[in-house]
């Protein structure tokens, strides 16, 4: 048995602790099956941290995250902390802080159309069937982090030439930031379908023209990978028209944010989508969904996105491809055998196979 793998668990708020418990059961089973030791340390983030310590991202949490081999987060937020007072701490501050502190510049969101859930997507089955896209979004640069300002009472900026407000945000990237994210996308493509689409808006933005030039340079180093360029407006349409043409999509922060939510439609359910955020050190894994305060405490939350986040952690942080494959296969088998949490169930679901959070976690464990 090798050295223990340290995992920092951040259950957060709402359904977070409920789905995190299922991920822990899965980790226990993987440990038993594959002869590894996971040492898990829980820390506070989001609303839970605000309640206990008055801040969404306590120093102890940063320390625990930095000391870990990987971080597994559930979700943060909820109406309890939406006070309306701009000076009060907000749960989401914890998310931004941990991404920044760990230098997590690559956000990966795999989106697969599960055959078993094909009816859950609002798109036609013949369009979505077989779709399997990995979106690689740049996470620490671009419009969300560039120079910005908002000024009040600017002469002539209001309606009819009256004084009014003026605001701007700036999309900024260095060549280095583009190069490292595009390279990551090519490395993932090598392990998958060997095709990269680089998405930009080169017909309108100078940043995109630089992005294109840098991406072409990286592409030359990967002759085994097919390289395509696409303007973001067309990409948004193509994702809905013909999603199977995509394997890996790489994009800057804002475009990637929008395209990854759009792509979620292919899968049909938020409860199935996992994500990974990678930098050069400790990586973070989390489901795409939020804290679902409307169903928190009801025992019906779908734990599969959290469990699939564990799959990504095994793959990308621990290099445990066999265990990751076994976990993915267990989730497939659960779906094949007709088990569904309420969010995945429809009129064709056998009511005896509609499971709560704990029972769904147990089924996955049973099939690993």
201 classed as catalytic: yes
233 classed as catalytic: yes
162: tokens are: 């009256």
3-state secondary structure of 87: coil
- From 17, 141, 256, 271, residue interacting with ligand NAD (rule: CB under 6 A): 271
Residues 122-161 vs ligand NAD: string with x where CB under 6 A?
A: ----------------------------------------
From the list 132, 144, 169, 362, the catalytic residue is 144
Strands 106-112 and 132-138 come out as: antiparallel
Mapping DSSP onto H, E and C, the string for 44-67 reads CCCHHHHHHHCCCCCHHHHHHHHH
Concatenating the DSSP letter of every residue in 270-336 gives GGG-EEEEE-SS-EEEEESS---TTTTTTT----HHHHHHHHHHHHHTS--HHHHHHHHHHHHHHHH
Query: Nearer to ligand NAD by C-beta: 48 or 248?
Result: 48
Least CB distance to ligand NAD at residue 12 (A): 6
3-state secondary structure of 111: strand
261 classed as catalytic: yes
Residues 23-42 vs ligand NAD: string with x where CB under 6 A?
A: --------------------
Decide: 184 and 222 in contact? Cβ < 8 Å: no
Least CB distance to ligand NAD at residue 82 (A): 7
Decide: 278 and 106 in contact? Cβ < 8 Å: yes
- From 301, 312, 313, 334, residue interacting with ligand NAD (rule: CB under 6 A): 301
From the list 13, 201, 285, 339, the catalytic residue is 201
- From 61, 253, 260, 291, residue interacting with ligand NAD (rule: CB under 6 A): 291
- From 23, 48, 72, 292, residue interacting with ligand NAD (rule: CB under 6 A): 292
Residues 60-79 that bind ligand NAD (CB under 6 A): 75-78
Cα 366 from Cα 130, distance rounded (Å): 27
Query: Is residue 330 at the binding interface for ligand NAD, with CB under 6 A as the rule?
Result: no
16: tokens are: 């977070």
Query: Nearer to ligand NAD by C-beta: 208 or 277?
Result: 277
- From 164, 293, 338, 356, residue interacting with ligand NAD (rule: CB under 6 A): 293
The values of phi and psi at residue 170, to 5°, are -125, 135
Decide: 224 and 186 in contact? Cβ < 8 Å: no
336 classed as catalytic: no
Decide: 232 and 201 in contact? Cβ < 8 Å: yes
Query: Nearer to ligand NAD by C-beta: 82 or 187?
Result: 82
CB-CB neighbours of 174 under 10 Å: 11
Least CB distance to ligand NAD at residue 18 (A): 9
From the list 173, 257, 316, 343, the catalytic residue is 257
Least CB distance to ligand NAD at residue 81 (A): 8
Least CB distance to ligand NAD at residue 332 (A): 18
Strands 248-251 and 132-138 come out as: parallel
Which residues are tagged catalytic? 144, 201, 233, 257, 261
Binding interface with ligand NAD (CB under 6 A): 15, 75-78, 92, 95, 270-271, 286, 289-295, 301-302, 305, 343
């Amino acid at each position: 048995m090798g050295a223990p793998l340290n995992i920092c668990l951040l259950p957060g708020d709402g359904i977070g602790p409920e789905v995190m418990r299922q991920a822990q059961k899965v980790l226990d089973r993987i440990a038993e099956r594959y002869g590894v030791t996971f040492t898990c340390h829980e820390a506070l983030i989001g609303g839970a941290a605000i309640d206990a310590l008055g801040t969404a991202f306590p120093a102890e949490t940063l320390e625990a995250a930095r000391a870990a081999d990987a971080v597994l987060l559930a979700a943060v937020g909820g109406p309890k902390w939406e006070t309306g007072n701009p000076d009060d701490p907000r749960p989401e501050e914890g998310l931004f802080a941990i991404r920044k502190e760990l230098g997590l510049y690559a956000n990966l969101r795999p989106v697969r159309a599960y055959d078993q859930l094909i009816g859950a997507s609002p798109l036609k089955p013949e369009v979505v069937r077989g779709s399997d896209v990995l979106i690689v979004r740049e996470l620490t640069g671009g419009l969300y982090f560039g120079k910005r300002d908002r000024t009040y009472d600017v002469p002539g900026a209001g309606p009819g030439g009256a004084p009014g407000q003026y605001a701007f945000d700036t999309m900024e990237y260095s060549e280095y930031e583009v190069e490292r994210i595009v390279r990551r996308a090519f490395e993932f493509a090598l392990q998958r379908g060997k095709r990269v689409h680089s998405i930009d808006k080169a017909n309108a933005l100078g940043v995109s023209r630089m992005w294109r030039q840098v991406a072409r340079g990286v592409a030359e180093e990967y002759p085994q990978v097919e390289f395509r360029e696409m303007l973001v407006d067309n990409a948004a349409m193509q994702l809905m028209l013909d999603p199977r043409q995509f394997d890996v999509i790489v994009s800057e922060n804002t475009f990637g944010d929008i395209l990854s939510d759009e792509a979620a439609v292919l899968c049909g359910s938020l409860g199935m989508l996992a994500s990974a955020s990678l930098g050069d050190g400790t990586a973070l894994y989390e489901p795409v969904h939020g804290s679902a305060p409307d169903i928190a405490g009801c025992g019906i939350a779908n734990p599969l996105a959290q469990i699939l986040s564990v799959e990504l952690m095994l793959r990308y942080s621990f290099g445990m491809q066999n265990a990751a494959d076994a976990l993915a296969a267990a989730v497939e088998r659960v779906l094949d055998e007709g088990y569904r949490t309420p969010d995945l169930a429809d009129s064709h679901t056998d009511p005896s196979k509609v499971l709560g959070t704990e029972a769904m976690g147990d089924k996955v464990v049973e099939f690993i």
